[in-house]
Structure 1
Amino acid sequence: MKLDFNLKLTQEQKLVMTQQMQLSIKMLQMSGFELQQYIEKEMQENPVLDANYSEENHIENNKDKIDYKKFIEYLEFDNYSSKNYVNTDDEEVSPFNFITNEKSLKDFLEEQILELHEDEYTKEICRYIVGNLDARGYLDNTIENMAKEIHANKENLEYALGIVQGLEPYGIGCRDLKECLKIQLKNKNIENEKLLALIDNYLELLAENKIADIAKKLSISVQEAQKYTDLIKTLEPKPSRGFYTGESVKYIIPDAYIRKINDEYHIIMNDSVLPKLNINPVYKSIILNGEKKDGTVEYVKDKINSAMFLMKSIEQRKSTIYKVLEEILKRQRDFFEYGKEHLKPMTLKEVANEIQVHESTVSRAIKDKYIYTNIGTIKIKDLFTTAISSVDSGEDVSVVKIKNRIEEYVNKEDKKKPLSDQKICDMLIEEGMNISRRTVAKYREELGIKSSSKRKRF
């Protein structure tokens, strides 16, 4: 083997992304809410930035201001007048006084524990058990472990657990799904050996909708097995559902409005949530004078450059989103006019080619972006859909339209003889849609529709 070490000079073209380019791309794919938070962070870190909010951006407008004191006096119901909402002094009554905190599951259980006719020691054990519940409302610990942790008798813990399992919502404090379902049946005063045997042994068959197999295993009729499975499906596998979990609310801020004015659709960019950024004049004067020799001028120049790039990137983001929406509006006018049935096939590549940008730029521009229209708030990404060619007319058919037809077929089918994927495929082909059985199965699953065997009713 001969090892040869040589120095070679080669020339190649390469795109090196600067930090500013990376930041510009990052800002393009931010949602309106994320951009708002990012600007607020930049303002805290960059002293040269000034923000001006226009009058129309203010949440409270004097013209529409509500006199909450008079509003409360107007309410003559006992449940309002009994509460001391109104201050006796001249301070403004905050509208937030009317907003109640969302109740968590633990708060709800705590209220019930307070009302128990039990000694304080038992109540404390109940509170400890509630503290061990997971996000579903299941008990995420064993009696043995809990007994060691709090130095209590297992009997006391078993007793307290029985109390917790009797609280609402029923199913709370269970160790697994089977126990969860049985607790709910117990609290409904339903005691049936066959039903309990189904829960203990054949939940897997129930999940597969194998009603005939369940009937055979339990030695009951198919109709009776169907009745039991229907009852079990009415129970709640996650007792915590519907309660506040502590997760933060994600706000949707539309980046633009699509308005119809004089029979023409117009794009109005939503600037109301973002401040108008400027350079503070004090720092401008430092640059103009340029007298200080302690590095202040260089520091201010650096901060002004950062501020100018931020403002430029925000405008560039707005311009790119506008161009994308302009092209979407050209292609999807029928959708905005008549609804989702008229959504035409449209890809990122087609829009990118038309507005002369890269496909990835369009992808970033629509990521987590929403538009407000006369038919509601729409995620821009949902307007992009692939096409299936039509056998008859030769025109492309939107995937959304095909999914709607699949949903319609399933809703109208005979539940005793549900339509197979092949049958749905044949029906779509008869309507002129060139589609395979495998594609039908894929779209059905995306719609959350079970297979024909699992939809069957007896």
Structure 2
Amino acid sequence: MAMTPKLEFRQTQSLVMTPQLMQAIKLLQFSNMELTAYVEAELERNPLLERVNEDGAPESAEAEASAASGGESADADSGPASSETVQDAPATEDWMAADMEPSRAEMESRLDTDLRNVFPDDTPSGAAVAPGLSGGSASTMEWGGGERGEDYNPEAFLAAETTLADHLEAQLAVSEPDPARRLIGIYLIGLIDETGYFSGDLEQVAEQLSTSRAEVEDVLHLIQTFEPSGVGARSLAECLAIQLKEKDRFDPAMQALVANLELLARHDRNALKRVCGVDGADIADMIAEIRRLDPKPGLIFGSGVVHPLVPDVYVRPGPDGTWRVELNSDTLPRVLVNQTYHATVVQAARSPEEKSFLAECMQSASWLTRSLDQRARTILKVASEIVRQQDGFLAHGVRHLRPLNLRTVADAIGMHESTVSRVTSNKYIATPRGVVEMKFFFSSAISSSGGGEAHSAESVRHRIKTLIDQESADDVLSDDTLVQKLKADGIDIARRTVAKYREGMNIPSSVQRRREKLALRQEQG
């Protein structure tokens, strides 16, 4: 069979994304610290970008604003709204203001894209090309391509250094399924210093979180069971006691030694022998064991810079009973495009390379300011809808947390689920009940027995734990009894689901709980 050359046309589909679209997606999912670092790098790289001072004026007297970053600008009419009042207004109002349309249309025509779909779903290779993302342009690149471009950075694949707070929060997420107690735990972890000691006041924490001191102390005791051993202690004696208990060496003699550390500091062994009731050889062994413990367990994670948790959004109650949702302007980088400088250097440009570089800088700067503006508007829109959905939790607590998923929020504000997912990643809301991550408000649903509104899984877990905490040794609730009580509260749930939630909270069975309560009563009586 002869081999002959032939020309064949083949039509394929693949998702391609402009670098500008990829930049916009990255900006949306960045935390406020990552965003600040990114904008600082762009300011160093792009001579047409100008930083805006705190008073809203550009650093350079010659700079003219063509676009402003989210939150504030030199021109008050061109900046995005930095706050929104959540009430009974329609949730689907257009989040792109009418006065933005001319510049928006201009941007779309210049960049050959569509800002309405700036955050598309991560469609796999081979899927249909999204509108406005057609290939064929020299400025496009295939999403997920395997080639290593100029931005390839092998250091990006290195694991970030784990901080003490990260380590403790990871253990908290596994050990405590109750969202209310997790919030308390996160608050307490924020008060643990780099050496591993808890430096806060339990009464103040309880008042701040509107809960009981006993509940706060119980969560602190949970944190004290985490690694590294001794973390969360309020004193050196408590730190050593925690470590000795884990080694099963906290006997009465050792308790007396830990309670009299001032004698150990004075090297008064005779006094230590008397208070501990041991001889010279035993006290020497006990002192040697104390010296093998770690008095500053948190230092094994190093003493790197500790960054405070800065919320992206503030939620405050309004005087008329509504919730006021405001962007944190301190987390919004403010940059402008220096049009005057651009006009000057364009006239001086001679070679095609210089003109191409300036055109690229102008396009990049314009898109960055537009993306920052859109990022701020999108965060505000998503946060406002979350607050509208979860107003019961904000007003009354975790038992009123509603089931919520990404699609519900996305449909309400006319965005895609993937956009909402990116917005809620690494973003925090400061509420009257503490600073929480946006993703905290999303949970699965448990149907209502009366056909009414569904209940969130977190609120059901909280209700189960509350019922068990209130039981006595003579009236321990079985899983079947819990099901009946929950159905009486309007929660339609299966027995196996109750058992799963109970086991997930490390709560033993009713038989084991009865034995423990009876044994405790005998010890006390």
- TM-score by length of structure 1 reads 0.56
- Say if 1:172 and 1:290 are closer, same or farther in 2 by CA, change over 3 A: same
- Say if 1:168 and 1:265 are closer, same or farther in 2 by CA, change over 3 A: closer
Write the letter of the residue equivalent to 2:39.
I
- Look up the match of 1:432: 490
Maintained 8 Å contact 2:229/2:243: yes
- Say if 1:242 and 1:388 are closer, same or farther in 2 by CA, change over 3 A: same
- Say if 1:286 and 1:293 are closer, same or farther in 2 by CA, change over 3 A: farther
Write the letter of the residue equivalent to 2:36.
Q
Post-superposition shift, 1:369?
Answer: 1.3
1:361, 1:102 → 2: CA distance? 36
1:271, 1:424 → 2: CA distance? 47
2:459, 2:242 → 1: CA distance? 42
1:366, 1:449 → 2: CA distance? 31
| Residue 18 of structure 1 pairs with residue 76 of structure 2 | no
Match of 2:318 among 240, 252, 261: 261
- Say if 1:300 and 1:373 are closer, same or farther in 2 by CA, change over 3 A: same
Helix, strand or coil at the partner of 2:336: strand
Maintained 8 Å contact 2:240/2:295: no
Write the letter of the residue equivalent to 2:314.
Y
Maintained 8 Å contact 2:312/2:331: no
| Residue 170 of structure 1 pairs with residue 228 of structure 2 | no
Q: Deviations over 1:227-258 (max 9, x none)?
A: xxxxxxxxxxx966764442553432222222
Which is worse superposed, 255-264 or 24-33? 255-264
Write the letter of the residue equivalent to 2:53.
Y
Identity of aligned residues (%): 33
- Look up the match of 1:377: 435
Between structure 1 and structure 2, the one with the greater Rg is 1
- Look up the match of 1:252: 309
Pairing of 1:57-136 with structure 2 (within 5 A): 104=195, 136=228
Q: Deviations over 1:117-159 (max 9, x none)?
A: xxxxxxxxxxxxxxxxxx8379xxxxxxxxxxxxxxxxxxxxx
Post-superposition shift, 1:451?
Answer: 4.8
- Say if 1:418 and 1:168 are closer, same or farther in 2 by CA, change over 3 A: closer
- Say if 1:292 and 1:371 are closer, same or farther in 2 by CA, change over 3 A: same
1:343, 1:137 → 2: CA distance? 34
Write the letter of the residue equivalent to 2:497.
T
Helix, strand or coil at the partner of 2:44: helix
- Look up the match of 1:181: 248
- Look up the match of 2:70: none
Write the letter of the residue equivalent to 1:406.
I
Unaligned runs of 5+ in 1: 58-100, 106-134, 139-165, 191-237
Pairing of 1:274-353 with structure 2 (within 5 A): 274-280=332-338, 283-293=341-351, 295-353=353-411
1:450, 1:379 → 2: CA distance? 30
Q: Deviations over 1:348-384 (max 9, x none)?
A: 1111122222211111111121122333323222222
Helix, strand or coil at the partner of 1:434: coil
- Say if 1:56 and 1:262 are closer, same or farther in 2 by CA, change over 3 A: farther
Post-superposition shift, 1:412?
Answer: 1.0
Maintained 8 Å contact 2:428/2:436: yes
- Say if 1:287 and 1:30 are closer, same or farther in 2 by CA, change over 3 A: same
2:44, 2:476 → 1: CA distance? 61
Helix, strand or coil at the partner of 1:272: helix
- Say if 1:355 and 1:433 are closer, same or farther in 2 by CA, change over 3 A: same
1:355, 1:399 → 2: CA distance? 24
Maintained 8 Å contact 1:286/1:297: no
- Say if 1:17 and 1:403 are closer, same or farther in 2 by CA, change over 3 A: same
1:279, 1:186 → 2: CA distance? 72
Maintained 8 Å contact 1:170/1:184: no
For the aligned residues, what is the CA RMSD?
3.9
Q: Deviations over 1:418-458 (max 9, x none)?
A: 54444423321333311122322333345454555665342
1:313, 1:390 → 2: CA distance? 42
Maintained 8 Å contact 1:321/1:365: yes
How many corresponding residue pairs? 306
- Look up the match of 2:51: 51
Which is worse superposed, 257-266 or 286-295? 286-295
- Look up the match of 1:363: 421
Which is worse superposed, 378-387 or 278-287? 278-287
Write the letter of the residue equivalent to 2:249.
K
Q: Deviations over 1:373-415 (max 9, x none)?
A: 3333232222222221111243312223212211211211235
2:362, 2:473 → 1: CA distance? 68
Q: Deviations over 1:262-293 (max 9, x none)?
A: 41323222222333102345641344414332
Maintained 8 Å contact 1:172/1:239: no
Pairing of 1:415-430 with structure 2 (within 5 A): 418-430=476-488
- Look up the match of 2:153: none
Q: Deviations over 1:73-119 (max 9, x none)?
A: xxxxxxxxxxxxxxxxxxxxxxxxxxxx96748xxxxxxxxxxxxxx
Post-superposition shift, 1:168?
Answer: 9.3
Which is worse superposed, 319-328 or 334-343? 334-343
Pairing of 1:387-426 with structure 2 (within 5 A): 387-414=445-472, 418-426=476-484
- TM-score by length of structure 2 reads 0.50
2:26, 2:311 → 1: CA distance? 18
- Look up the match of 1:42: 42
1:415, 1:349 → 2: CA distance? 45
- Say if 1:382 and 1:56 are closer, same or farther in 2 by CA, change over 3 A: farther
1:172, 1:261 → 2: CA distance? 45
Helix, strand or coil at the partner of 1:36: helix
Write the letter of the residue equivalent to 2:483.
C
Helix, strand or coil at the partner of 1:253: coil
Helix, strand or coil at the partner of 2:329: coil
2:367, 2:452 → 1: CA distance? 49
Which is worse superposed, 362-371 or 421-430? 421-430
- Say if 1:340 and 1:42 are closer, same or farther in 2 by CA, change over 3 A: same
Unaligned runs of 5+ in 2: 58-191, 197-226, 231-235, 258-292, 520-525
Helix, strand or coil at the partner of 1:251: coil
Maintained 8 Å contact 2:315/2:430: yes
Write the letter of the residue equivalent to 1:333.
D
2:6, 2:473 → 1: CA distance? 76
